[in-house]
Amino acid sequence: MIDAVRDPVPQVTTAGEYVASLRDVRRRSGLTYREVAQRASAAGHWLPPSTLATMLGRTTLPRERTVTALLAACGTSAPEIERWLDLHRDIEARLCEPMRPTGRPASGESTHPAPPDSAPVAVEATGPRRSTDRPRSARRRLPLGALALVGALTVGALLPAGDGMTPRSSGTGSSGPCPLVLRQGMYGPCVLDLQERLAASGLRVPVDGWFGPDTTSRVIAFQALHSLEVSGTVDRQVLDALQDSAVSPVAWTENRISKYLRARFPEDPSEAVRLARCLSGLDPLRVEVTADGSRRWGLFQFSDTELSRLGVDRRTALDPGWNIGAARDIWARTGDFRHWTCVSSV
């Protein structure tokens, strides 16, 4: 069971601060977007990962039902959820304050005077009101609609600036502005869509909306496997290849890899398995990017330089049979595993 969010409901006054507090709730829960969606569904709510990523990537108030779903999935108690919703309504009401007439009406005047002369032209151009007694919820529609439009234009607000924007299908039937190039460090629904496409292609990756090292590793592996330029960034060519990819990588399970390692290294099978696990987590498609920008490939993490010297392309390096065979050749020359150095953090 998740340790429910114990921090008190934040004392915030703006929509942006409110959303930032919701991001903190999700982060403290330790759940990925996919896990939040699953737990929300189990609690009777509907909150797809893409919706969650969009909500937390904006600076405008989300819908109350999505707030409820997120908080329930993260283990927040019902009374605390209600307090979050009360705060949501208070902020929403403050957002509508500029649309309310100010000052006391003079004697005999209507209690709902027309907007002041300083009101935006767009508001005045909507024509005379049909009724001067509309409820407050009706008066909110215009500003909230405007805020929703602004939110839609700022979905990528947390993505680094500098890249042009282009409409792209989100994979869920909708489209939205995404950078022309996705790269490590970015965050949001566009990254979530990328991760879902990578997973669909057979590459296991956390689907959490964050373009971190794991996503970079999978992007590089995909590029190598499909003979694309190995850059670790995602442009239209990579997205098209992901869309058209019909062949999933052949997956070797950890059990199969362990058995194969023991068979190829009968002199020291336990150390062979330990070393490969330390280097790559027994993940044959693991790619690590070093501090100098070079890369290491596969189970035994052969470097770019080693692959060049061996005359092997990167796709071959990700084949577990070749990778283990190359490691065996090195062991045969040295008689041990001194070629590699890896100290497990466990």
Model confidence pLDDT, tens digit, residues 240-276: 999 887 656 667 899 999 999 999 999 999 999 999 9
Which pairing describes strands 295-297 and 302-303: parallel, antiparallel, or unpaired? antiparallel
**Residue 64 structure tokens:** 């109350």
Print burial letters for 216-248: b (CB count within 10 Å at least 16), e (below 16): bbbbbbbbbbbeeebebbbbeebbebbeebeee
- Show which of 216, 244, 272 is a domain's final residue: 244
Is residue 285 domain-resident?
A: yes
- The answer for residues whose C-beta is within 8 angstroms of residue 41's C-beta and 6 or more apart is 47
Is residue 249 domain-resident?
A: no
* C-alpha to C-alpha distances, 157 to 26, 53, 62, 179, 274, nearest whole angstrom: 18, 12, 15, 11, 43
**If DSSP codes are grouped into helix, strand and coil, which group holds residue 275?**
helix
Assess whether 30 and 138 both reside in one domain: yes
Assess whether 91 and 189 both reside in one domain: no
pLDDT for 28 beyond 70: yes
Q: What is the CATH number of the domain that holds 262?
A: 1.10.530
Nearest to 339 by CA among 279, 281, 285: 279
Assess whether 37 and 141 both reside in one domain: yes
Is residue 125 domain-resident?
A: no
Q: How confident is the model at residue 144 (pLDDT cuts 50, 70, 90)?
A: very low
Assess whether 235 and 181 both reside in one domain: yes
Model confidence pLDDT, tens digit, residues 145-200: 444 444 444 434 344 433 433 444 433 333 457 899 999 999 999 999 999 999 88
Model confidence pLDDT, tens digit, residues 191-211: 999 999 998 888 889 999 999
Please state the φ and ψ torsions of residue 125, each to the nearest 5 degrees: -75, -5
How high is the pLDDT of residue 176?
Answer: 55
Is residue 169 domain-resident?
A: yes
Assess whether 144 and 266 both reside in one domain: no
Assess whether 150 and 265 both reside in one domain: no
Q: Give dist(CA 133, CA 145) in Å, integer.
A: 21
How high is the pLDDT of residue 129?
Answer: 44
Model confidence pLDDT, tens digit, residues 65-77: 889 989 999 999 8
Assess whether 180 and 312 both reside in one domain: no
How high is the pLDDT of residue 38?
Answer: 84
Against a cut of 0.85, is the pTM above it?
Answer: no
Model confidence pLDDT, tens digit, residues 3-17: 444 556 888 889 889
Q: Give dist(CA 143, CA 148) in Å, integer.
A: 9
Q: How confident is the model at residue 137 (pLDDT cuts 50, 70, 90)?
A: very low
Is residue 236 domain-resident?
A: yes
Assess whether 222 and 270 both reside in one domain: no
Assess whether 226 and 90 both reside in one domain: no
- Averaged pLDDT, 325-332: 96
Q: Give dist(CA 215, CA 206) in Å, integer.
A: 7
Assess whether 215 and 298 both reside in one domain: no
Is residue 345 domain-resident?
A: no
Assess whether 12 and 84 both reside in one domain: yes
Is residue 69 domain-resident?
A: yes
Nearest to 25 by CA among 84, 65, 94: 84
Structural domain harbouring 275: 254-334
Assess whether 204 and 313 both reside in one domain: no
Is residue 118 domain-resident?
A: no
Question: What is the number of residues in the chain?
Answer: 346
Q: What is the CATH number of the domain that holds 206?
A: 1.10.101.10
- The answer for residues whose C-beta is within 8 angstroms of residue 87's C-beta and 6 or more apart is 9, 10, 12, 18
**DSSP secondary structure code for residue 30 in this structure:** T
How high is the pLDDT of residue 272?
Answer: 97
**If DSSP codes are grouped into helix, strand and coil, which group holds residue 4?**
coil
pLDDT for 230 beyond 50: yes
Query: Total domain count for the chain?
Result: 3
Q: Give dist(CA 96, CA 140) in Å, integer.
A: 6
Of 278 and 50, more confident: 278
* C-alpha to C-alpha distances, 49 to 99, 112, 181, 247, nearest whole angstrom: 34, 43, 22, 25
